[in-house]
């Protein structure tokens, strides 16, 4: 029986807020839990994956905290989560702006936000303008200790690539985060796109301290992968109204290709479809409606290209690299017997030659 379109707003809210416990999500969550237990303070977990795959929510779920930072009754914060925004002029990443974001996330009493009598924040902005970045960093380091923070999570960490100065500067910024975590004795968790892998590869000190985890997409490479994807479709299907005899599984291949096997992209696609239905007062989800709200092919290709490069980079990171062994003089290949010169001189006898004029002893 076809319901009226009033079910659509509720479905949009349910899909947006729903946390689907699909196989890949559960596996990555377990890897994060075990990974943070295995590392020491000053070391880091690096979670990479495609856009909209659910990395942020998976981290907060693994650490059993909300995405919103709030101190407890004693004023302590076991986890601090902050986003690395490229919010400076021209879309650049600013290290000072990032440190301000960290102080806000940790609810610093002075640099954490405007006072109650500063409604528009003008006094607070003046304070930040006059305060040096080094002072802000020292304040955040002390706050990490006073709040007894155990985990510092930096989300969208790949945005550091937009810092003025390019990759060399980005490498120094990443290394400074490691130093901050080491001094404050916290465990660092970086989350971002696959670009984060290549940035970390420029910092040898970080490579030896990090555990890379991949929150990858689903692939049609095995029966298990296909079955896990079917589970995701069934979860979404419960919230939708379709014609009799149809379900999202009916269009499995189309949905898989259009979302690139990413649950987050699939969620976004279905919500866009439902929003379109609201405008046109449609009451059932159809294949034609889904196709009309699918991403343009150019954007799909760009997303897929980024994912494929990242998957290849991650694959290379796990390959065993054989370092070249320096050869000593004794290891140098000897010449064939025919090329060896034979000496006709007697042992311990100097080869006779005329000394230069005036050079005799």
Residue 312: C-alpha distances to residues 216, 229, 317, 344, 361 (Å)? 12, 22, 9, 61, 71
Cβ 25 vs Cβ 58: under 8 Å? yes
The tokens of 62 are what?
A: 């693994």
- Cα(162)–Cα(91) distance, integer angstroms: 7
SS3 353: coil
Reduced to 3 states, what is the DSSP secondary structure of residue 43? coil
Intervals of the chain under pLDDT 50: 1-3, 317-318, 320-340, 346-350, 355, 359-361
User: How far, in Å, CA of 65 to CA of 21, rounded?
Assistant: 17
- Per the CB < 8 A criterion, the answer to whether 131 and 111 are in contact is yes
Domain locations in the chain as residue ranges = 23-214, 220-317
* Model pTM score: 0.81
Per-residue pLDDT at 361: 40
Phi/psi for 168 (5° steps) reads -65, -45
Q: Tokens 């090329």 identify what position? A: 339
The owner of tokens 């000053």 is: 42
The SS3 call for residue 361 is coil
Helices (H), 107-165: 122-130, 133-146
pLDDT at 331: 47
Given this model, what pLDDT does residue 13 score?
Answer: 94
What architecture is domain 23-214? 3-Layer(aba) Sandwich (3.40)
Tokens, residue 259: 């979302």
Who contacts 141 (Cβ-Cβ below 8 Å, separation ≥6)? 180, 183, 184
Tokens of 234: 């069934």
DSSP assigned state of 150: -
Entry field: residues in the chain: 361
On whether the CB atoms of residues 43 and 188 are closer than 8 A, the answer is yes
**Sheet strands side by side (includes 187-192):** 79-83, 151-155, 187-192, 44-48, 210-214
Angle between helices 252-259 and 263-280 (to 10 degrees): 110
Residue 340 has what pLDDT?
47
pLDDT at res. 82: 96
**Cβ contacts of residue 89 below 8 Å, gap of 6+?**
none
Distance from C-alpha of 173 to C-alpha of 170, rounded to nearest angstrom: 5
3-state secondary structure of 81: strand
β-pair type (79-83, 187-192): unpaired
Q: What is the dihedral of CA 239, 243, 245, 251, to 10 degrees?
A: -70
């Amino acid at each position: 029986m076809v319901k009226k379109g009033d079910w659509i707003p509720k479905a949009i809210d349910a899909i947006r807020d729903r946390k689907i416990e699909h196989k890949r999500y559960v596996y990555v969550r377990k890897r994060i839990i075990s990974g943070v237990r295995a590392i020491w303070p000053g070391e880091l977990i690096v979670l990479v994956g495609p856009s909209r795959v659910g990395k942020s929510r998976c981290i907060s779920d693994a650490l059993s905290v909300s995405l919103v930072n709030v101190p407890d009754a004693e004023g302590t914060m076991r986890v601090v989560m902050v986003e690395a925004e490229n919010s400076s002029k021209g879309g650049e990443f600013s290290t000072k702006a990032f440190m301000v974001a960290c102080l806000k996330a940790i609810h610093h009493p002075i640099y954490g936000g405007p006072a109650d009598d500063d409604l528009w924040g003008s006094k607070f902005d003046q304070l930040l303008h006059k305060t040096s970045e080094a002072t802000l960093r020292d304040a955040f380091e002390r706050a990490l200790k006073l709040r007894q923070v155990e985990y510092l999570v930096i989300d969208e960490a790949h945005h550091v690539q937009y810092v003025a100065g390019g990759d060399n500067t980005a490498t120094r910024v990443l290394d400074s985060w490691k130093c901050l975590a080491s001094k404050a004795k916290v465990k660092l968790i970086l989350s971002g796109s696959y670009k984060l892998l290549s940035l970390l590869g420029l910092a040898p000190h970080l490579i030896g301290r990090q555990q890379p985890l991949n929150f990858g997409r689903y692939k049609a490479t095995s029966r298990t992968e296909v079955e896990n994807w079917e589970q995701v479709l069934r979860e979404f299907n419960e919230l939708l109204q379709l014609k009799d005899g149809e379900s999202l599984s009916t269009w499995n291949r189309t949905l898989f290709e259009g979302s690139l096997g990413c649950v987050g992209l699939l969620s976004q696609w279905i919500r866009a479809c439902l929003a379109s239905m609201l405008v046109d007062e449609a009451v059932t989800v159809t294949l034609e409606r889904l196709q009309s709200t699918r991403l343009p092919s150019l954007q799909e290709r760009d997303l897929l290209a980024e994912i494929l490069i990242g998957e290849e980079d991650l694959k290379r990171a796990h390959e065993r690299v054989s370092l070249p062994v320096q050869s000593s003089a004794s290891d140098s290949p000897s010449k064939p017997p025919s090329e060896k010169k034979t000496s006709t001189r007697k042992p311990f006898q100097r080869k006779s030659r005329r000394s230069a004029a005036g050079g005799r002893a």
